[in-house]
Amino acid sequence: MTRTILVTGASAGIGRATALKFLGAGWNVGMIARRAEPLNEIAAAHPGALAFPCDVADATAVDDAFATAARRFGRIDALFNNAGISRPAGLIDEIPLADWTDTVAINLNGMFFCARAAFRHMRAQSPQGGRIINNGSISAHAPRPGSVAYTTTKHAITGLTKTLSLDGRPFDIACGQIDIGNAMTDLAAKMAKGVPQADGQIRVEAMMDAEEVASAVLHMAMLPLSTNVQFMTIMATKMPFVGRG
């Protein structure tokens, strides 16, 4: 039987690369993102793809998308909970409150809504079970300067991952997290021009191909449900993460 994954944030960057990677591996792929045009472009070229233009911060729209995917494909085997945003850097007392609320709405509430919908279907379907892969970030371990909203949400995702991993055990629902550092996407292109460092300097950072992230997500998803990658860190080898700064 052909397996099915839902990928959020599938219109660009890591989400798009991952959707295409799974389609190439023969999976059905339900693609969720706010922009319909790029989703429809992929769906038109791949019979196994289904576009769900919706905002992950809208719980009703998320529930509708998952229900439609389950009806169309018969079951939901995996979720790549990937959609996220990042706002301009700033100190906590200087950033607009809207930047905080928008980041929480997408990066935390949206990932909760999608995980909730996936868990519901995986628990109810027969045979029971599935896998949820949350996109954490290197920021789930260490912040960049001025990233209070983004870093706070990514630390919260680690708690979501651990709790779902525990609560999913009776239902054969595995949950893991991939923490990504410096994948080359439109969102991260500015890093190639220089990024603020902890010592106050601006330096160019090493980058990696987003295709490598997609391959890592596919590896996690292909494992039997008796095996789980709880946390994976994938990063540009020479990015400044493990050193002092």
Active site residues: 150
Q: Report the C-alpha dihedral over residues 46, 222, 212, 113, rounded to 10 degrees.
A: 80
List C-alpha distances in Å: 151 to 51, 138, 141, 222: 30, 9, 9, 29
Ranges assigned E (strand) in 70-172: 78-81, 130-135
CA 143 to chain centre: 18
DSSP β-ladder status, 183-184 and 208-209: parallel
